[in-house]
């Protein structure tokens, strides 16, 4: 399995958008491998963490940490996010490109499937990369919905809430050139409820 770890600059702990600071990919086989890579990633990027994190005692402890539990790592990630940094990690396809970063002038949509864990705590992620100058928000979310077949069963005929959002996005894009932020946020919240988290990474 190919593990990807990203260190992101974020505006808040709730941000879905992040600017890529560092990225690492490696082959892992089990949970201990994943945690080993996460701890090593922390050590490799300790200078970035030191520059951002106000609690220097924590940074000093991190510089000598050799192992962590998932609960410890998640708690640490919360502290980092409060200071404007966040670490994301997931399993990706072996054929994914851009191992060293995000393409210039691109948005990298990471769809993290929290219903598909390839280890006990590491979800699978699918990427959609679009050009900043020529992408359609409605097309991106339509693609996400179709990838997973969300609300496509006959059971949901005529009551697809994401389809309604996408139609509004398309109309707004045609009229004013952009989809409404509120509608995008509503779509993201539905996807989150369905176990599909969206994170948008830029360089």
pLDDT digit string (tens) for the chain, length 203 residues: 999 999 999 999 999 999 999 999 999 999 999 999 999 999 999 999 999 999 999 999 999 999 999 999 999 999 999 999 999 999 999 999 999 999 999 999 999 999 998 778 999 999 999 999 999 999 999 999 999 999 988 999 888 999 999 999 999 999 999 999 999 999 999 999 999 999 999 99
Q: Are residues 114 and 200 in the same domain?
A: yes
Q: Are residues 197 and 164 in the same domain?
A: yes
Domain membership of residue 73 as a residue range: 1-100
Q: Are residues 113 and 199 in the same domain?
A: yes
Q: Which of 158, 167, 165 is nearest to 186 (CA)?
A: 165
> Of the candidates 38, 72, 100, which is a domain's last residue?
100
pTM of the complete model beyond 0.85: yes
Q: Are residues 21 and 34 in the same domain?
A: yes
Q: Are residues 66 and 13 in the same domain?
A: yes
Q: How many angstroms separate the CA atoms of 120 and 117, rounded?
A: 6
The structural domain count of the chain equals 2
Structure token pair of residue 62: 């991190």
Q: How many angstroms separate the CA atoms of 142 and 57, rounded?
A: 46
Q: Are residues 153 and 175 in the same domain?
A: yes
DSSP strand pairing (17-27 vs 85-92): unpaired
Alpha helices in the chain (DSSP H): 31-44, 46-52, 56-62, 70-82, 137-148, 161-176, 181-193
Q: Are residues 109 and 89 in the same domain?
A: no
Q: Are residues 200 and 123 in the same domain?
A: yes
Q: Are residues 63 and 139 in the same domain?
A: no
> Of the candidates 81, 100, 119, which is a domain's last residue?
100
């Amino acid at each position: 399995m190919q593990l990807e770890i990203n260190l992101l600059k974020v505006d808040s702990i709730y941000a879905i958008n992040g600017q890529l600071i560092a990225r690492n990919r490696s082959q892992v086989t089990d949970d201990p491998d994943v945690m080993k890579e996460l701890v090593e990633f922390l050590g490799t990027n300790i200078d970035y963490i030191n520059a951002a994190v106000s609690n220097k005692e924590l940074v000093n402890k991190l510089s000598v940490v050799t192992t962590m539990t998932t609960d410890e790592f998640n708690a640490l990630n919360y502290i980092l996010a409060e200071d404007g940094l966040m670490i994301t990690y997931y399993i990706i396809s072996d054929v994914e490109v851009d191992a060293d970063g995000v393409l210039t002038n691109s948005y990298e949509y990471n769809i993290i499937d929290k219903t598909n864990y390839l280890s006990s705590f590491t979800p699978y992620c699918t990427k959609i990369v679009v050009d900043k100058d020529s992408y359609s928000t409605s097309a991106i979310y339509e693609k996400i919905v179709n990838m997973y077949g969300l609300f496509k069963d006959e059971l949901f005929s005529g009551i697809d809430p994401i389809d309604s959002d996408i139609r509004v996005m398309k109309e707004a894009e045609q009229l004013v050139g952009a989809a409404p932020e509120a509608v995008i946020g509503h779509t993201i919240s539905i996807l989150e409820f369905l176990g599909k988290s969206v994170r948008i990474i830029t360089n």
